[in-house]
Chain A
Amino acid sequence: MAQAEASTPVVQLSTHDDDEVGQSLFQLALRRLRRDKLTLLAIGVLVTLTVLSVTAPFITGTILGIDENLTNPYNAFLAPGREGHILGTDDLGRDQLARLLHAGRVSLGIAFTAAVLSLLIGVALGVITGFYGGFIDDSVNWLITTINSIPSLFLLLIISAVLSPGPGSLVLVLGLLGWTGTTRLVRGETLSQREREFITSARAIGCSDWRIMFTHIVPNLFSIVVITLAIDIGVLILVESSLSFLGVGVKPPTATWGNMLTNAQTFFKKGPHLVIWPGVLITVTVLCLYVIGDGIRDAFDPKTVD
C-alpha cells in the first residue's frame, strides 16, 4: 500500500492522500475488529487449526511418534483414548488424530491454494476489464457467461476425470473455475475507482496504466480480497468434501477431511468417532471462515455506521 520510491511530488501527493485514507480506514477497521468478539474467536480457532495442520508431520512424527500410515486391521475402530490413540483408530487401525492432522494439511492446503489462484485470476481480470473496458471487457464477459452457463458440477466432474487425480489437479480445477464472481466484483469496484480524482491526477502526470492499476487501484481492493478469500476457502473446503462424496475428490490413500468423512459414513455405527471428528473439523473451520469474512466486511465498510 505504501509507495516508498514515488518519484514525482504529484504522485507522492496522491499516494499520500490514498495512504491517509487507507491508513485511517485500516486503523478504523482494526479498531472495529477488536471489538468484534465473535470474529476474534473465529480467528483464534482458525489459526490454531491451521497451525496444527501445517505442523502435522512434526506433531505426529516427532511429538507423538505415530506413523499415520501404519495399518493394523486387528486394532480397528478403537474408541478414543484407548491404547494410546487419543482420537481412536479408523477401519484399518490407523491412528485417527494423526490422519486428521495430515488430512487437514491437504484440505486446508487445497482450499487455500485454489482460493488464492482464483483470486489472483479474478482480481487481475477484474482490474484489467474494469480499467480498459471495450473489447477486453467484452471478451472476458463472454468467457464468464460461458463458464457460468455450463453447470459447474459437470465441469468439475469432467475436468477432474481428464486430469490425473490428485490435490494438485484439484487446485487447478477449482482455481480455474472459481474466479468469475471475483472478477465481476472487482470490475465493478475498479469502474468506480477509475473515475476518482487521484486516478485522474495520476493519469494527468503520465503514469503508465500498469502503475495506476497496481499502485492505486489494487490496494483499494484489500477488503474485497480478504473477504472473498475467507468465504472462498470455506466454500472450497465444502466443495472438496462434496466431490469426495460424489467420487471425484482427492483419491485415497491421500487423506482429506472430505474423503475421511465420506469413507466413514459406511461404518458410522462401528466407529462413530470416525464420522464425528472430520465432520466437526470441516464445520468448525468453514464456520470460522464465514464469520471472519463477515467480520472483516463489517470492519472495512466505510459506509457502515457505528
Chain B
Amino acid sequence: MRKLTRFLFLGLTLALVASMALPVAAQEAEPPAGPGEGGIIIEGSTSDPGNFHPFYCASTSCLDDGLSFMMPGLLGVDPATATFVKAGDGAMALDWEVAEDGTTFTFTLREDMFWSDGVPVTAHDWEWSWDVNANPEANTQQYWITDYVDDIVALDDYTLQVTLKFSGCNVLRYTDYMDIAPAHVFEGVALTELEDHPYSQNPNVTSGVFQFGEFRPGEQFSLIADQEYPDTTYGYVVPAGRIVRNVPDATVLKEQFLAGELNAFRNISAIDQDELREAAEADPSIKVYEFAGNTWDYFGFNLADPANPQDGLDAEGNPVPQDPHPLFGDVRVRQAIAKAIDVDAIIEGAVFGNGARMPSSIVASSWAIHPELDPIAYDPEGALELLAEAGFVPGDDGMLVATEDAMYVEAGTPLTFQLLTNEGNTRREAIGTLIQDQLRQIGIQVDYQAIDWNTLLEINDSQEYDAVIMGWRAGYPDDPIASISQVFGPGADVVGACSNCGSYYNQEVLDLLDQANTVEGCATEDMAPYLWQVQEIMQDEVPYVWLFAQNGMYAVRDTEGFSPYPAQMYWNVDAWAVTAD
C-alpha cells in the first residue's frame, strides 16, 4: 500500500463535482445497449472512501469515485474546453448574473432535476447546506469555505444568491466550492448528530447519473444507474452500474486490470504507462487515452533561514523581514542548481519518459501557459560559473567551498544541504536519488533523505528545511491566479501551517496577478499576458526548480463509448457499455 501518490491540490473540488456528466453533443452512433444493459464498469482504487456524506467526505476516493457521480453541482463545465458554461448538462445553473460589486452572484436554477426519492433539487438545498457548513458546531470538512463565501440564500425555489468575500475574474468557481446534500433528508437532525447519520454509509437519496448501491468497507462500493437522470446521451443510462474495488497495493491493482478483473483504470501512474501502452497494442480490447497531465513535481528551495523561521506577515498584516537562507538566499545559487539538474534525465529515470518539462508553475494545458518561455536548460558549466560568481569554488577534493565572496556564509563553508521527500513514492524517491547524484557531479554534497509523509509535512510546515521535493496538482479548470497567490503569497507563509513554506514572494508578481484578475471583461486572452510576465519573473528568481508534469493516461477494456478529455474520463459515462463480463 503506501504507494499513495500524494499531491497538494489547487482549486480542485469544484470541477470534480460539477463537471460530471456533460455530453457536449448528442452522439450520432446507435446506442450500444438498452437502458442499464451496458454492463458494469469495474474500477480499482488504492484508498477506501470510508464515508459518503458530502459534508464529511475527506478522501479523494469518496469524492472522485463516489459523490461526483451522485450529487448535482451548480456550475457546468465544457469538458472539451475546460471552461465554465451556462446551462451545462448535469449542472443546476441555467444562467447567472453578477452584481456591480462583483461579489454577489444570482443563479437561475433548472427545475427538472430531482433527488432519487422524487423531491426536486432546489435552491433551498444550497441554503441549508451553507447554513450547516458555515456553522463550526457541525464540524464538517467544508467549514473553510467561509473564507471564500459570505452567504448563500435561496431567493425562491429556483433562484439562488451567493455572496462572495472577493471579486475578480477567477471568483466564479468559489460559488461552487461547497458540495451540497439533500436538505429534506436531514430535517430535524441536530447539527452535532449529522456526522453520525446513517446517510454517511448509505447515501440513499442522490441526484446524478448513478445512485448509491452498497458499501462494503475496505472492499468495494457500488453505484447503480439512475434512469431518472435527465442529461443522458441516449435518453437513458446505458451501463447497469459502476463498482469501485479497494485494492490497496498499486501493483496488484495494475495486474488486475491487465488480467481483466477490472475494466476501467483511471489513476495510471507515469511509471506504469509504458506497460499499459504495450498492452493496448497487443490486445485490441484495451484502449488507452493519453493527455498532458496536470500533476507536477518540484524541487522547492527554502529562501528563508531555517534556523529562524518567521511568518510572512505580522498580526497587523505588515510584512516581516525574513533572514535569508545561508545558501539559497542568493538567487545565483538557486539559478546554478536549476542549471545543474538534468531534468530530461530525471524524466527518463523517474517516469521512463512519460512526462514533460515545465518552464514555470503553469501546466501546459492551461490558458495561461507562456507560449515562448523555455524551461531552464541543463548547463553544468554555466552552473559552475554562476556558483563561482556567488563565491563557491571547488576545494581540494573537488567539492565546492565558500570563498570570501559568498553572501551569507563564512569562507570555507562547504556547499552542502539537506534534501527531503516522502518515502513510499517510487517516482519521488528516484527524483531525489538522481538530483543527489547530478549535483554531486558538480561538487555539491546533497544529504538526500526520503522520510515518512507526516514527518515531511511537519518539517515543511515548520520551515526548518533546506529543500524539498514535493508536488502539486493544477485545478480543473485551471486557476493559475489563485494557485500562484496561494502558494507564493506572504499570507500563506505561516510557520506551523503554510503553503508558502519556502517564503518566496515578490510584490511585482502579486501586483501582476491582481491586474490579471481585474481585467475588464475577464477574457483569458487579455489576462494571459500578465501571467506570462509572472512566469518570466519566477523563472528568473527560481523559488522552485520546476521539474516535470507527468503524462496523464486512462485505460478501459471491452468498453464502448469511452471518449475522454484531459482530466475528464467519465464525462459521458451514461453512454458507456461494457461488452464482456
A residues sitting closer than 8 Å to B (CB atoms) are 69-71, 73-74, 76, 91-93, 160-161, 164-165, 246-248, 251-253, 263, 265-270
- Cα separation A267 to B276 with both chains bound (whole Å): 12
Q: Residue A253 contacts which of B251, B448, B454 (CB distance < 8 angstroms)?
A: B448
Chain A minimum-CB-distance residue to B453: A247
A252-B450 contact in complex given A91-B349, A247-B1, A247-B424, C-beta closer than 8 Å: yes
A248 touches B452 (CB 8 A): yes
Q: Residue A265 contacts which of B2, B251, B350, B424 (CB distance < 8 angstroms)?
A: B251
A69-B3 contact in complex given A74-B348, A76-B349, A263-B426, C-beta closer than 8 Å: no
* Contacts across chains A and B counted by CB atoms under 8 Å: 81
Q: Is the interface of B mostly helix, strand, loop or mixed?
A: helix
State how many angstroms separate the Cβ of B164 from the closest Cβ of chain A. Answer: 40
Give the total of B residues in contact with A, Cβ under 8 Å. 34
- Cα separation A38 to B523 with both chains bound (whole Å): 80
- Cα separation A71 to B272 with both chains bound (whole Å): 21
List B residues 1-41 near A (Cβ within 8 Å).
1-3
A71-B437 contact in complex given A251-B449, A266-B251, C-beta closer than 8 Å: yes
- Cα separation A127 to B251 with both chains bound (whole Å): 47
A252-B2 contact in complex given A266-B251, A266-B426, C-beta closer than 8 Å: no
Q: Residue B349 contacts which of A71, A253, A265, A268 (CB distance < 8 angstroms)?
A: A71
Q: Residue A73 contacts which of B275, B345, B424 (CB distance < 8 angstroms)?
A: B345
A252 touches B275 (CB 8 A): no
**Chain B residues near A92 (CB-CB < 8 A):** 349, 430, 433-434
Chain B minimum-CB-distance residue to A94: B433
Residue pairs across A and B with Cβ atoms less than 8 A apart, 28 shown, are A69-B440, A71-B349, A71-B433, A71-B438, A73-B345, A73-B348, A91-B349, A92-B349, A92-B433, A160-B452, A164-B455, A165-B423, A165-B449, A165-B455, A247-B1, A251-B451, A251-B452, A252-B432, A252-B450, A253-B432, A253-B436, A253-B448, A253-B450, A263-B429, A266-B251, A268-B251, A270-B274, A270-B352
- Cα separation A135 to B384 with both chains bound (whole Å): 68
A266-B271 contact in complex given A92-B430, A247-B423, A252-B433, C-beta closer than 8 Å: yes
List B residues 346-370 near A (Cβ within 8 Å).
346, 348-350, 352
> Does chain A have a CB within 8 A of B91?
no
State how many angstroms separate the Cβ of B192 from the closest Cβ of chain A. Answer: 30
List B residues 394-451 near A (Cβ within 8 Å).
423-424, 426, 429-430, 432-434, 436-438, 440, 448-451
Q: Is the interface of A mostly helix, strand, loop or mixed?
A: loop
> Does chain A have a CB within 8 A of B209?
no
State how many angstroms separate the Cβ of B515 from the closest Cβ of chain A. Answer: 41
B346 touches A251 (CB 8 A): no
A246-B2 contact in complex given A263-B429, A266-B250, C-beta closer than 8 Å: yes
A74-B345 contact in complex given A247-B2, A269-B275, C-beta closer than 8 Å: yes
Chain B minimum-CB-distance residue to A160: B452
Q: Residue B429 contacts which of A160, A252, A267, A269 (CB distance < 8 angstroms)?
A: A252
State how many angstroms separate the Cβ of A251 from the closest Cβ of chain B. Answer: 5
A161-B454 contact in complex given A91-B349, A92-B430, C-beta closer than 8 Å: yes
State how many angstroms separate the Cβ of B437 from the closest Cβ of chain A. Answer: 4
**Chain A residues near B423 (CB-CB < 8 A):** 165, 247-248, 251-252
**Among all A-B residue pairs, the 9 with the closest Cβ atoms:** A73-B349, A247-B2, A247-B424, A73-B348, A71-B437, A251-B450, A252-B450, A252-B429, A251-B423
- Cα separation A265 to B430 with both chains bound (whole Å): 14
State how many angstroms separate the Cβ of B109 from the closest Cβ of chain A. Answer: 46
